[in-house]
């Protein structure tokens, strides 16, 4: 092994208030009223080039994305935290302090926004459409009519799913302080037969009302083959960034 000390960098998980930071066991870098929750990480792993390679390694990504989530999860259960995106890394603790100074206003606003609230994820899934009994068309005209009818049914079903997703999102929003309907994940990612029609995130002060609304939605849309799934509570990933870096 080399005698040279291992080169390290400062990985930022998120930001909390300094007063809350003192109650955490996690390592923090404080600057005024704000504190970044950090870890010192080896550059050999989190350096620019190493990181880029690692991000294409599924096992590495899963381990480290999970670690990022778990650190933030633990903190968010105890108090307000502004989650940072995975892989925000600075050379020195002074650079972290500089970031806290430069972003003080946005970070303070974000902390106020999420204080006393949690993020709930809700997904709605649509089962496969019912199969129409196939009848052999007697004539060319009947064949065409059958084809057009099938196309019309597909259009109608698709419009109905869109309306179901819209209605569900609005009803969930009524139980939340804020909400966002993210792009549904494609089947290639979910690996499920059902189609995801709603991929919502909701910022709530109390989980019970939205939980009840999910039960009502499930009952209302069960006949249409729609099911609902709640995840969380999560750290408020979806409610801290206004369009990224300025």
What residues line the site for another protein (CB under 8 A)? Answer: 9, 12, 14-15, 25-27, 39, 43, 46-49, 51-52, 55-58, 61-62, 65-71, 73-74, 77, 82-91, 95, 99, 103, 106-107, 110, 121, 182, 185, 188-191, 199, 230-234, 237-238, 240-241, 244-245
For another protein, the closer of residues 103 and 171 by Cβ is 103
Residue ranges of alpha helices (H) inside 115-236 are: 140-173, 187-190, 207-221
- Minimal distance in Å, beta carbon 24 to another protein? 9
- Minimal distance in Å, beta carbon 177 to another protein? 17
- Minimal distance in Å, beta carbon 168 to another protein? 18
- Minimal distance in Å, beta carbon 110 to another protein? 7
Cα angle at 160 between 157 and 164, to 5 degrees? 140
For another protein, the closer of residues 69 and 146 by Cβ is 69
Adjacent-strand bridge partners of 17? 34
Concatenating the DSSP letter of every residue in 123-143 gives EEEEPPPPPPPP---SSHHHH
Cα angle at 61 between 60 and 67, to 5 degrees? 95
For another protein, the closer of residues 74 and 194 by Cβ is 74
d(CA 83, CA 236): 7
Which residue matches tokens 């970044």? 36
Q: Quick one: CA dihedral 81, 234, 39, 240, positive or negative? A: negative
For another protein, the closer of residues 9 and 217 by Cβ is 9
- Minimal distance in Å, beta carbon 203 to another protein? 12
Q: Which two tokens stand for residue 198?
A: 């709603």
For another protein, the closer of residues 44 and 142 by Cβ is 44
């Amino acid at each position: 092994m080399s005698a040279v000390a291992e080169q390290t960098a400062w990985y930022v998980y998120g930001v909390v208030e300094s007063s809350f930071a003192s109650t955490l066991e996690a390592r923090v870098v404080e600057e005024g009223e704000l504190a970044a929750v950090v870890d010192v990480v080896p550059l050999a792993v989190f350096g620019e080039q190493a990181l880029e390679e690692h991000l294409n390694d599924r096992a590495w990504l899963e381990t480290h994305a999970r670690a990022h989530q778990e650190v933030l999860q633990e903190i968010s259960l105890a108090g307000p935290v502004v989650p940072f995106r995975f892989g925000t890394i600075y050379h020195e603790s002074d650079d972290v302090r500089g970031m806290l100074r430069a972003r003080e206003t946005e970070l303070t606003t974000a902390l106020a926004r999420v204080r006393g609230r949690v993020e709930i994820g809700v997904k709605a899934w649509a089962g496969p459409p019912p199969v129409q009994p196939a009848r052999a068309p007697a004539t060319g005209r009947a064949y065409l009519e059958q084809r057009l009818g099938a196309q019309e049914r597909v259009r109608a079903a698709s419009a109905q799913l869109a309306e179901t997703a819209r209605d569900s999102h609005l009803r969930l929003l009524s139980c939340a302080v804020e909400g966002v309907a993210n792009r549904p994940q494609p089947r290639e990612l979910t690996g499920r037969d059902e189609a995801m029609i709603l991929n919502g995130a909701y910022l709530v002060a109390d989980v019970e009302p939205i939980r009840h609304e999910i039960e009502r939605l499930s009952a209302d849309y069960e006949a249409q083959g729609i099911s609902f799934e709640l995840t969380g509570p999560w750290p408020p990933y979806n409610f801290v960034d206004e369009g990224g870096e300025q």
